[in-house]
Structure 1
């Protein structure tokens, strides 16, 4: 396998090469580090590259595998971590000036699980400041591998760009209103927001503790499933037979949906029907209230996290981040409580629909990657998260998969939502859909 092809191989294929001794974890890790050095000046995907640690982990993985110690599918696989996930002895900045020198004494729970699975950590990826959706000027925006003049997405954009560009094979992101799924959609990836609470968030800096999720970004649903297994310490292999599955189609059109997004979503639905699935139109009452409810939960919780720093060190925040955090202090407690009440109502509505169908489908985002990340509290920000945010409120597993490219060659995502704790079924449906759309499996060409 040529070196460029190697960087876009599946995790399973890399594992097979390792175990046949046709490829060395050290060799592949060194090649990934060289690729980061060559491309990251364009992408701005990494804040910290941990080359020495990565090579040390790769040597250990190689020694283990040669000695017959096999820790599973992720053993020796190069991955990356969003820079709000604590790493012992390695700075965790949250892409902020406030934490620019913060070096945690211990690893986050999910990092300990990835280490136990033998993964090789290449470094910490760029993100919006404190995951609020706006890059700090010290770090800047992550650029999209498909079109570097456009964003890779906030706030897990560094993780998405690194995977899409072949700098690593999977990455950890976090999602509070769509921040795994939106960058994954913009970069042509599979990105899963797991069931709320499935992935342990101990050691992950919070944005909004009742909405936060951590999950995998990968180039396929199958790779994302392997990453999820490692992050949870559980293995739940699943496959999906599309014939006879019932899908509820929702929000397929509406304000701001670009024609190519609508067309590619429709083509994916037609492919599911041709494979024997049933499609039914679905509508969730009062869904239009979800964006306001999300902000009325998120902003006060974020403000509570940052109360001391926003009082003592306000100038160290990016201006828009500071403004968003200050908004949270102005939201009345009654408004926050009503948002939580609506949240329960919305969850019941979705669960009722999921008693009638096996999964819900929608476009992930109404449009392809824009030039700049929209403000979280702005009109375009609301439109961007219109289809992702509701599932942070409900906590349901939600996956985006790539279903093709628009006329300018930019990726388009489709979102799959399934009942609570059916994350592997959700990923299996994603894998089956990806199998129907081989034209969607291309990779960006970066010089």
Structure 2
């Protein structure tokens, strides 16, 4: 995009592109923010991605960014860039409802660490994005469900669906999501955006409404791996307010997007052919062709019990979720929707002995995954094991074991072992909706998955495609 761009044609730019326009003062942050707020006003009634639009504070933040620019102060690539955050991250200037009705009026007195870090980096927070109830699988029946901008009959993903829809629909230049069983990766795949699930502990969870704390990850959802790197730089790192956050050193991720060597990629073809549908397998094979053309070596591997880890995930999650909601469930059970209350009941019904067995199984699985990742640089999986499922298909998720396995096998186990993963657009269905691949790496190798994703996106154009009919 040239520097003659106007605020009316910028909504599908990548974050680093809009950052350049603001830094060179081709456009002011206020101009960009006003344009995005106007676009939200125009499209939000159809897309339903925002729980709260924070127009007044966003414009004030844009003015502050412009004032800093005017005196020569530059805070980095997020300076003056409008983003949005999932409505489970505390904000001192807007409620945090976490997709619930029971907490709908909760007003925090401080920001979550990730929000504070975004603001410290100069980002403009446009608002809070819708999510499923308590960040589990289903939206509360009394609250709207975000609509996939590619096709209203296509599933928009689970918990971080608002983040996926807003980013894909051009309502923000990037967003924050959370991932406990796949909730960054599934909405990223469904909406055709790039989603990074960092290593567990890489990003602080302080001020985040939890689903299952030992499984919860916070990460960026953007339009490219380069943009995800920019956001990760701002939010990653140890936080004294979250003692579980890692002391592992962070990096200037966006400045290290060149691969040091061609990666060795593992692919479990038997797993794919057993559990994933035809469209997904065709996308994976075409992805392998791209990787081979890039000079990467793809080898067949046997993954260590992904189906078993996926099957055990619900009970593990349920126990922790029951603990998170102990103050309001069962005391206010009538205010809960069926999906979240069902998960809590599973957790409340599990014996200590059964839970102990699940923890032992999780530890063993994590060890086997670490062993696998010591032999390869990356593991290739799909973002979803069912190619761009429809809302009608996903209505059967809880009652169709084959569908449940196809959806959860590529995602939930990677939360259980806590490894970093990047989901990125990698194809399209015959109806024009997105398909996505996923790169998994060893612990704290975010730099590798981001560089790999960047290389893939330099060789393909899937991430530059956008939903039609959304120009306002």
TM-score of Structure 1 vs Structure 2, range by shorter chain: over 0.9
Between stretches 18-27 and 362-371, larger displacement belongs to 362-371
| Aligned match for 2:128, one of 124, 127, 135 | 124
| SS at 2:367 equivalent | helix
Q: How far apart are the structure 1 equivalents of 2:235 and 2:126?
A: 16
| SS at 1:9 equivalent | coil
Once the two structures are superposed, what CA deviation does each residue of 1:338-359 show, in whole Å capped at 9, x if it has no partner? 1111111111211111121111
Matched, 1:244 2:267: no
Q: Specify the alignment match of 1:208 in structure 2.
A: 212
Shift of 1:115: 0.8
Once the two structures are superposed, what CA deviation does each residue of 1:114-172 show, in whole Å capped at 9, x if it has no partner? 11100000000000000111101222211101012223111000001000001000000
Q: Specify the alignment match of 1:34 in structure 2.
A: 38
Matched, 1:337 2:356: yes
Between stretches 124-133 and 2-11, larger displacement belongs to 2-11
Contact 1:141 1:151 in 2 (8 A): no
| Aligned match for 1:416, one of 434, 439, 452 | 439
- Judged with a 3 Å threshold, the aligned counterparts in structure 2 of structure 1 residues 209 and 377 are, in CA distance, closer, same or farther, namely farther
Q: How far apart are the structure 2 equivalents of 1:283 and 1:419?
A: 16
Q: Specify the alignment match of 1:294 in structure 2.
A: 313
| Aligned match for 1:53, one of 32, 57, 66 | 57
Contact 1:416 1:426 in 2 (8 A): yes
Q: How far apart are the structure 1 equivalents of 2:304 and 2:325?
A: 34
Shift of 1:436: 1.4
Contact 1:242 1:272 in 2 (8 A): no
| Aligned match for 2:367, one of 344, 348, 357 | 348
Between stretches 41-50 and 342-351, larger displacement belongs to 342-351
Shift of 1:394: 0.5
Shift of 1:3: 4.7
| SS at 2:325 equivalent | helix
| Aligned match for 2:150, one of 146, 158, 168 | 146
- Judged with a 3 Å threshold, the aligned counterparts in structure 2 of structure 1 residues 223 and 374 are, in CA distance, closer, same or farther, namely farther
Q: How far apart are the structure 2 equivalents of 1:354 and 1:445?
A: 39
| SS at 1:146 equivalent | coil
Matched, 1:319 2:338: yes
| SS at 2:318 equivalent | helix
Q: Specify the alignment match of 1:69 in structure 2.
A: 73
Q: TM-score, normalised by structure 1?
A: 0.96
Q: Specify the alignment match of 2:297 in structure 1.
A: 278
| SS at 2:176 equivalent | strand
Q: How far apart are the structure 1 equivalents of 2:275 and 2:311?
A: 18
Q: How far apart are the structure 2 equivalents of 1:293 and 1:441?
A: 37
Q: Specify the alignment match of 2:390 in structure 1.
A: 370
Q: TM-score, normalised by structure 2?
A: 0.91
Unaligned 5+ segments in structure 2 are: 238-249
Q: Specify the alignment match of 2:246 in structure 1.
A: none
Number of aligned positions between the proteins: 447
